[in-house]
Structure 1
Amino acid sequence: MRTLIVCNDPAFPPVSGADLRNYRNAELAAEYGPVCLVSVRPQADPSKPLAPRIHTAALAIEGEARTSSIGWWRGAGENRISRSALTRLEALVQTFRPDSIVVEGIALFKLLRPLRPLASQLILDMHNVESDLAGQLQRNAWGPAAITAASGLRRLERKALSIVDRVWVCSGQDREKLNALAQHGAPIDVVPNGIPRAEDIPSVLPAQTTTANGFPVILFVGHLGYEPNIDAAMRLAGTILPGIRKALPDARLIIAGRSPQPKVEALSELPGVTLVESPGDLTPLLQSAHLTIVPLSSGGGTRIKLLEAMAWGVPVIATPLAAEGLDLIDGDEVLLSESDKGLTQAAIALCRDRDRLARQRMRAHEAVWARFGPEAIRNAMRRGFGLDDTAR
């Protein structure tokens, strides 16, 4: 089986949650045959080694002249795709001849109709239900664009479901949202986000990190140009960390991710805050972290970085939305609170009780490996490709 995966940003080397999902999809698809992982935007470093049977390509070249885009109209939430990019994609499809084409998200909607006749199976991988996310942003009053975005995205999602053969979502909750939105359309498969780079993480619980560089070291990882993550980073640095430092003066916060907006960059000037832009390897950050706190007030899909932290034995303190779709047990596998005050108090209480902290590390580690380990995701991916429809 030959698979072409189309994403907006280069998925290799994977850094953000979207990259991690796209590259994980490519690795699992490569178990069935060759994979071409193609990005609309230019590749960062095409020379880096890839997994076997995966090769990458880009539909744009850094510094080339801008050309006209596809379509005379582009709705909210859609990315600009140039005509030259579409021409390169069509040529690539003719050469690669995929059996299945996987398109990343509704932002690449303009590619669905051109790709429809070029493969026997067209799959839309929805990292988020974007109309639901836009509705959350509207309720949180994040800009006038959110007011009209939700209805436009709902129309776009309905159209997309009528074009593609299958849809992948991250959780059962997202499948319910899409089923309510479009009761007639493509089958919707839950292909969860799994533990990223699982092969590089010890399956046995790692030893607790030392306190030589402060305690607790709190880690937050995410795309720092994404509005929900920006808001979360600002809450962490501006409210939650200062509250923790009143009780635990050596507490530190590390914010890591790509494309930080200026207001995120400014957070590094606050006491105890460090910004790590576009980390090449997250392993040292995860090995040095005592906690991860995820104060999301909007967002969709499931948080891959949360799974990665738990796989390393880093306890997670989060808002219920941040853990949505993962079915984690509050007070046992994760600690949840809606408010900054509640998140702050949960962090202080956990760090003051070292036995409880050790239990939390163990429960987080056990839960994520059992439910989101490689074999569980491999089985979901097989169903997502329609290779095991008897199990649906």
Structure 2
Amino acid sequence: MLFLSATYPGPPETAVSGTHRRMRVLLDACSRLNRSLHIAFLIRPDQDQPILEPDRLADDLRTYWGVSATCHIIELEGRENPHDDAGSALRVLFEPLDVREDRFYSSFVQADAIGAIRTLLNTIGPGLLFVHRLAAILPVLEIAAGELPSAVVFDLDDVEHKARYRALRELGFYLSKIIDYARVLGLARAEAAGSRLADASLVCSVQDKRYLDRLRRYGRIDVLPNTVRIPDLRDSDREGHSRHRALFIGDLRYEPNAVAVDLLCRSIWPTVRARCPRAELVIVGRHPPGRVMPSDLPGIVFAGFVDDLDEVYASCNVVCCPITFGGGTRIKLCEAAAYGKAIVSTEIGAEGLDFTDGTNIVIQDDLDEFAHAVADLFE
């Protein structure tokens, strides 16, 4: 079996984003099904994590993720500007419809990437190719069907075109926005092509499956929900009940999380503090260097990356998720429920999860009502 991904898990001991956690579950399942698992990672030139040697990466995946596999690294060549060779204004207008011309995705369809994957397929001879996310399916689409394994599975954990569309709606008007909307169509075309190539495509929720089925351009869609570890709650929850402390967990290098934190700190938390003056907000997760965080506001702690989530959850009694755009499902909410915490979320934040508003979650899109819901739970 060959598992192909453009999401590098490095270093594995601290790769805990939602995407990494889903990939870990998938790799665990693949390694249990097939003892000769091979994993190939497509690495863009702008990768911001140090790239380990394949043998070292395999050792770390075995140590920290419990996954036994042979690892392969495919380093991609950059493409400075995919529009440099545009022959006409008409071509420039239509290029956004082809995701292969996108500044981010163009690296994955260069000849070196396609050739390296073809070589791996010929060398390993896998019976199944598992493709993780949209970027990794793009070079596979350039390989003749006769050169591919008899079975192909495509994990479409984020419906990328829907996530991009929502992100554009959050932005104001600008002159090139119509081209960015055309790129949404390009993403949808690529997703549909990957889905038709695969024998099965996996999404996170029934809601995403219904959405793609309605479009009638995708192949077979199956639901594989995100999962989390169920913690031992016997001693972990005692401290939290005595505190007015809320929690947000998320990698702030991911734009939906960064925007949510900004809303939480600047628009929601002042109202919470007006009602509960001693309330605290703890924000856990990496944030990009150079990005200014509102850390000077009273009652807010930016904890960065933490090793022990059990301790973090034990000290908090409300989890906040004011996500306003993005795709997939929020593993952070599955985890909060597993820890038995009260949750306040936007509708998009809770999208695709089997929660019932007013029973095991409070859903509020109005920021002022969101703040009062948090304060109500504290009181």
Sort the TM-score into its range (normalised by shorter chain).
0.7 to 0.9
Per-residue deviation, residues 222-264 of structure 1 (Å, max 9, x unmatched): 221222111101001112112111122222222222343644x
1:40 to 36, 39, 42: 42
Q: Which moved more, 1:112-121 or 1:235-244?
A: 112-121
Instruction: Label 1:98 to 1:50 Cα distance change in 2 as closer, same or farther (>3 A).
Output: farther
Tell me which amino acid in the other structure corresponds to 1:30: S
**What is the alpha-carbon distance in structure 2 between the residues aligned to residue 245 and residue 210 of structure 1?**
18
Could you say what secondary structure the match of 1:269 adopts?
coil
2:133 to 88, 101, 105: 105
Per-residue deviation, residues 271-320 of structure 1 (Å, max 9, x unmatched): 22222334344333223222110001112111011111211122211011
Residue number in structure 2 paired with 1:135 = 165
Tell me which amino acid in the other structure corresponds to 2:3: L
**What is the alpha-carbon distance in structure 1 between the residues aligned to residue 352 and residue 362 of structure 2?**
15
1:120 to 129, 150, 154: 150
Could you say what secondary structure the match of 1:268 adopts?
coil
TM-score (norm 2): 0.79
Residue number in structure 2 paired with 1:6 = 5
**What is the alpha-carbon distance in structure 1 between the residues aligned to residue 74 and residue 319 of structure 2?**
36
Tell me which amino acid in the other structure corresponds to 1:331: G
Instruction: Label 1:50 to 1:307 Cα distance change in 2 as closer, same or farther (>3 A).
Output: same
Residue 346 of structure 1 and its aligned partner are, at CA, apart by 0.7
- Where do residues 1-392 of structure 1 align in structure 2 (5 Å cutoff)? 2-10=1-9, 12-13=12-13, 14-34=15-35, 35-41=37-43, 43=51, 46=57, 47-48=59-60, 49-55=63-69, 57=71, 59-60=73-74, 73-75=100-102, 78=105, 80-81=107-108, 83-114=111-142, 117-141=147-171, 144=177, 146-181=180-215, 183-195=216-228, 197-198=229-230, 201-202=231-232, 206-210=236-240, 215-260=243-288, 262-263=290-291, 265-352=292-379
Residue 151 of structure 1 and its aligned partner are, at CA, apart by 1.7
**What is the alpha-carbon distance in structure 2 between the residues aligned to residue 208 and residue 106 of structure 1?**
43
**What is the alpha-carbon distance in structure 1 between the residues aligned to residue 319 and residue 327 of structure 2?**
19
Residue 189 of structure 1 and its aligned partner are, at CA, apart by 0.4
Report if the CA contact (8 A) 2:240-2:316 is conserved: no
Could you say what secondary structure the match of 2:319 adopts?
strand
Residue 269 of structure 1 and its aligned partner are, at CA, apart by 2.8
Tell me which amino acid in the other structure corresponds to 1:121: A
Residue 202 of structure 1 and its aligned partner are, at CA, apart by 1.6
Could you say what secondary structure the match of 1:9 adopts?
coil
Residue 56 of structure 1 and its aligned partner are, at CA, apart by 6.1
Q: Which moved more, 1:51-60 or 1:185-194?
A: 51-60
* Aligned-pair identity (%): 26
Residue 155 of structure 1 and its aligned partner are, at CA, apart by 1.7
Instruction: Label 1:118 to 1:340 Cα distance change in 2 as closer, same or farther (>3 A).
Output: same
Residue 207 of structure 1 and its aligned partner are, at CA, apart by 2.7
Residue 140 of structure 1 and its aligned partner are, at CA, apart by 1.9
Tell me which amino acid in the other structure corresponds to 1:191: L
Report if the CA contact (8 A) 1:6-1:101 is conserved: no
Instruction: Label 1:155 to 1:345 Cα distance change in 2 as closer, same or farther (>3 A).
Output: same
Residue 147 of structure 1 and its aligned partner are, at CA, apart by 2.9
Q: Which moved more, 1:3-12 or 1:238-247?
A: 3-12
Could you say what secondary structure the match of 1:297 adopts?
coil
Report if the CA contact (8 A) 1:7-1:103 is conserved: no
Instruction: State how many pairs are aligned.
Output: 340
Report if the CA contact (8 A) 1:36-1:55 is conserved: yes
Consecutive unaligned residues in structure 1, runs of 5 or more: 353-392
Residue 19 of structure 1 and its aligned partner are, at CA, apart by 0.3
**What is the alpha-carbon distance in structure 2 between the residues aligned to residue 156 and residue 338 of structure 1?**
32
Report if the CA contact (8 A) 1:255-1:274 is conserved: yes
Per-residue deviation, residues 113-149 of structure 1 (Å, max 9, x unmatched): 2565332211111112111122212222267364333
Residue number in structure 1 paired with 2:88 = none
**What is the alpha-carbon distance in structure 2 between the residues aligned to residue 337 and residue 318 of structure 1?**
6
Instruction: Label 1:54 to 1:351 Cα distance change in 2 as closer, same or farther (>3 A).
Output: same
Consecutive unaligned residues in structure 2, runs of 5 or more: 44-49, 86-99
**What is the alpha-carbon distance in structure 1 between the residues aligned to residue 141 and residue 287 of structure 2?**
31
Report if the CA contact (8 A) 2:78-2:107 is conserved: no
**What is the alpha-carbon distance in structure 1 between the residues aligned to residue 287 and residue 294 of structure 2?**
14
Tell me which amino acid in the other structure corresponds to 1:342: E
**What is the alpha-carbon distance in structure 1 between the residues aligned to residue 106 and residue 17 of structure 2?**
18
Report if the CA contact (8 A) 1:43-1:58 is conserved: no
Per-residue deviation, residues 59-106 of structure 1 (Å, max 9, x unmatched): 256xxx95669x994337636336555554444444544332222222
**What is the alpha-carbon distance in structure 2 between the residues aligned to residue 245 and residue 321 of structure 1?**
25
> How big is the alpha-carbon RMSD for the aligned residues of Structure 1 and Structure 2?
3.0
Instruction: Label 1:68 to 1:300 Cα distance change in 2 as closer, same or farther (>3 A).
Output: closer
